[in-house]
Structure 1
């Protein structure tokens, strides 16, 4: 599938020293988050690739779908990949669509997106839905809220999350609590849920280093803290309770970024024996799913 040609116009929110920019036409992505001129998210490189932005929405599912198809209510639904960089369907639909601004103020933004499974869009996602993304700056940082509504006449499986890319900087420390982690097979799909090994344990603050992670942690409780000691900055993510999975991606340090993604379900949960046990929600017609995540930003 050819990449869509987006409108690359940005919208900027300001509150005191905090600056946040969004590109509605490029997957509704956050393209900058900085305080006093210090970038916290990886700043967008200005290209038409949403994967080069700072943060995008994951909906109506997170990460990969291993069989490029899933079953729901006794029917099998094929999916196509929307990314030339990934052979499997990944990250849902929202990051590959232009969003519409429905409300705007100097410190807040509301973006919406409607998907209808028409034509080839059936292979993107077979159910109709509406998404609303609220972004607000306040004295503490950034408040994000996602609402997904099933507007189909059938029930649909659903998952939500965010995919922020954080800057490594010269030194970076990470802390989060979880109960277990999925080990991956050669296709980078979860194959075995195990206790968290020592080298992947960030239950107490530890330097990020290069753990080589692209794994989903299960049973996240409490906040996620990212600390840049040289910059004297700390960002604390407070995901809502439903976002009890955490995908952590740590490419080589020379890449200059890492990802810590609060999500509602395990990677490939749509294809697991029991998707519900692994975080997938089933939304009846007209039913909504809502999640939130706060980024609290402070001088450390």
Structure 2
């Protein structure tokens, strides 16, 4: 792609935040769920996209699902029927403004974030949730969150924080949702132990072996087209590489705790979509009756903060 052919403009009054480091660029869309809209670099007349870039139509629609990556807070993935019981009290998120039958990814990805400090290579985004009857604000625990996003010569770094502002314990999940370019020659490499199998919804049913587990560990890696995936993997070593061998390039996502699980979304019916996500829990963790090591998730005490960070390190492959 010619460098002068790539441009991305937000609607009037909703500017993008641009980070720059040499030939590398990151575009942030605070008004679209605190999302990353693009991460790319120029090489001569070419533009190399490390994440699937947003489009102006998706920006105008405020659709985080059309961004390059977006934060998952205060929980990740689905909650069955948008309901759960915590500390003996029922929680109903079915009227949360979420159009999905199972509550999905919390509410921070559907709300605007505020820009804090910003320099050429670093920006901080902030989000605060107060209790309200407004649609999209039915999560019954007040919290605040931030993202510190840093671009350097080797990587894009994202550090997230989540703080419980309620006067009682709050269940939580945290994650990020990057979309990668998907071609006929896209491969994913990672060490994992098992995969959560699921229903068509999809919701998890059981942990077991799967062909993708061994493929991920193989020298070639897992082809993005090999299976119809929307599944969680356990036992990963918090590092996964997405490679495009015919383009002689790769990007490695490395994460720290509490990102103890990895999601791969590579649907057969959407052959252009590929997500490889660092998350703190599997879908519907709060309703699953299994050991915490198998499902993740956690609880923040009043005033307690958790930090979670990951990086996308790019590589040229000979």
Q: TM bucket by the smaller chain?
A: over 0.9
The 1:14/1:253 distance shift into structure 2, 3 A limit, reads farther
The 1:222/1:281 distance shift into structure 2, 3 A limit, reads closer
Do residues 100 (structure 1) and 106 (structure 2) align?
no
Structure 1: state its 5+ residue gaps: none
- What is the aligned-residue RMSD (CA, Å)? 2.0
- The one of 260, 266, 270 aligned to 1:244: 260
Give the equivalent residue in structure 2 for 1:152.
166
- The one of 175, 183, 196 aligned to 1:169: 183
Do residues 127 (structure 1) and 164 (structure 2) align?
no
Do residues 40 (structure 1) and 50 (structure 2) align?
yes
Partner Cα separation in structure 2 for residue 126 and residue 298 of structure 1: 43
How much does 1:231 deviate? 2.3
The 1:210/1:119 distance shift into structure 2, 3 A limit, reads same
How much does 1:162 deviate? 0.5
Shift >6 Å, 4+ stretches: none
Do residues 52 (structure 1) and 66 (structure 2) align?
yes
Determine if contact 2:98/2:136 at 8 Å carries over to the other structure: no
Determine if contact 1:168/1:253 at 8 Å carries over to the other structure: no
Give the equivalent residue in structure 1 for 2:272.
256
- The one of 239, 244, 250 aligned to 1:234: 250
Length, aligned pairs only: 295
How much does 1:8 deviate? 4.1
How much does 1:251 deviate? 1.9
Partner Cα separation in structure 2 for residue 7 and residue 22 of structure 1: 14
Partner Cα separation in structure 2 for residue 40 and residue 122 of structure 1: 31
The 1:6/1:292 distance shift into structure 2, 3 A limit, reads farther
Q: Equivalences for 1:1-300 in 2 at 5 Å?
A: 8-36=14-42, 37-46=47-56, 47=58, 48=61, 49-80=63-94, 81-84=96-99, 86-120=100-134, 124-197=138-211, 201-204=215-218, 205-206=220-221, 207-252=223-268, 255-273=271-289, 276-277=292-293, 278-300=295-317
The 1:220/1:124 distance shift into structure 2, 3 A limit, reads farther
Determine if contact 1:6/1:98 at 8 Å carries over to the other structure: no
Partner Cα separation in structure 1 for residue 13 and residue 235 of structure 2: 38
Structure 2: state its 5+ residue gaps: 1-10
Determine if contact 2:69/2:179 at 8 Å carries over to the other structure: yes
Partner Cα separation in structure 1 for residue 116 and residue 80 of structure 2: 35
How much does 1:253 deviate? 7.7
Give the equivalent residue in structure 1 for 2:4.
none
The 1:6/1:83 distance shift into structure 2, 3 A limit, reads farther
Q: TM-score, normalised by structure 1?
A: 0.92
> What is the SS of the residue equivalent to 2:232?
strand
Partner Cα separation in structure 2 for residue 200 and residue 247 of structure 1: 16
> What is the SS of the residue equivalent to 2:180?
strand
Give the equivalent residue in structure 1 for 2:3.
none
Determine if contact 2:195/2:213 at 8 Å carries over to the other structure: no
The 1:82/1:181 distance shift into structure 2, 3 A limit, reads farther
The 1:82/1:193 distance shift into structure 2, 3 A limit, reads farther
Determine if contact 2:33/2:64 at 8 Å carries over to the other structure: yes
Q: TM-score, normalised by structure 2?
A: 0.87
